[in-house]
Each structure stands twice: as C-alpha cells, then as structure tokens.
Amino acid sequence: MREMPQELISSERIKQRVRELGEEITSDYAGSDLVMVGILKGAFVVMADLVRSVELPARIDFMAVSSYGMDTKSTGVVSIVKDLDLDIRGRDLLVVEDIVDSGLTLDFLLRSLKAREPASLSLFALLDKVEARKVPVEIKYRGFEVPNRFIVGYGLDYAEKYRELPYIGVLEEQKG
C-alpha cells in the first residue's frame, strides 16, 4: 500500500481560493484578448477549475516542459516537450502553474514566452514554495504559500502518483 500524504490544504479551501483569484482575473482582464496557458502535467487540475471561475471568453492552451529525470529536484535544464498551439503575439498571456519551487522552470519558460511578444505576460501559481526559491519569479496571482516540503495532490505528483487527490498534502520525508 502506498503512503498517504498528510493534508495541508483542504479541497474546500482550494475551491474558495481559486474562486477568489478567478474573480480577480475576471476584473483585471475584462475586454482583453486573454490566453490562459496551463503547464502540464501538474497544472491540469487547477487549470480546469480556474478557467471555470474566470468569466471571460478566454482561449485555452497547454505547454509541457521537462526538467530531466523523475527526481524531486529541479535541475534548471528545461526543454519544451509540447509547445503552444496558439499564436500569442499581441495577446494577453496568463501562465498557470501548479507550484513555483526553485523558480528555474518558470524563469526559463517566461523568458521564452516573452520572446514571442505577447501584449502582456503574467503568472498564476497555485502554490508558492517561497523558501526554495533560487531565482526570483513574479507571481501575480498566488494561491497559497507552502513549506519547503514535498507537496502532492490536486495535480501535483511524486513519481507520477497522487495527482488525483482532491486536497494538497505533504509526504513524510523520504528515507535515505
């Protein structure tokens, strides 16, 4: 049997926070040409909830990046394994990420998206592991600050498991 995580943020609190941030985005982007880009795989759950809380005719797209390996630590060596389908030039881009940890993945991704000349570029991150940051990343819409522990659930995985949990939890420290 697998080890079950200890709950950190309940599914009710997540729903409430996503709804609040959705309302903020709705008023901030009224009348703009909004494209919401979810970063796979981790952001697929929050993306599904967030797009339904934003009451705007937004376009939806996804990108997948990989930092090498199935390890729990980011290397900063990032490659785009699935690119956007949409052209973002001149549009208002909102990148939707599950968690910002070291910030290395987002730093790379935001630079490469900026080079495509969107009208604006902002970041939504459900979780901010602020103590783990190695490079600064500006998060415009932030769900929750989390401790420097390994987080799973609500889209986030450990070795491709736990993504389906409706809440956010922490795994006990891995031995060895």
Cβ 136 to ligand IMP shortest distance, Å: 12
Asked if residue 74 lies in contact with residue 108, where contact means CB atoms within 8 angstroms, the answer is: no
By CB under 5 A, name the one of 5, 42, 118, 153 that touches Mg ion: 42
3-class SS of residue 147: coil
The beta-strand segments (E) located in the chain are: 6-9, 34-40, 59-67, 78-82, 92-100, 120-128, 141-145, 151-152, 168-170
* Residues of this chain, 151-170, that bind ligand IMP according to CB under 6 A: 151-152, 156
Please tell me whether residue 150 binds ligand IMP under the rule CB under 6 A: yes
Under 8 Å between Cβ of 95 and 25: no
Q: How many residues bind ligand IMP (CB under 6 A)?
A: 16
143 binds Mg ion (CB under 5 A): no
From the list Mg ion, ligand IMP, none, partner contacted by residue 151 (C-beta under 5 to 8 A by kind): ligand IMP
- The three-class DSSP label of residue 145 is strand
Residues 71-90 vs ligand IMP: string with x where CB under 6 A? Answer: ---x----------------
CA end-to-end span of the chain: 19
> Residue 13: what are its φ and ψ, rounded to 5°?
-65, -40
153 interacts with Mg ion by CB under 5 A: no
Q: Which span (29-37, 51-59, 111-119, 146-154) binds ligand IMP, by CB under 6 A?
A: 146-154
Which of 14, 45, 88, 105 binds ligand IMP (CB under 6 A)? It is 105
Of 101, 107, 128, 157, which one is the catalytic site residue?
101
Distance, CA of 108 to CA of 123 (rounded, Å): 13
- DSSP bridge partners of 125: 97, 142
Is residue 33 annotated as a catalytic residue, yes or no?
no
The answer to whether residue 128 forms part of the interface with ligand IMP (CB under 6 A) is no
DSSP 35: E
State the binding string over 5-44 for ligand IMP (x if CB under 6 A, else -).
-------------------------------------x--
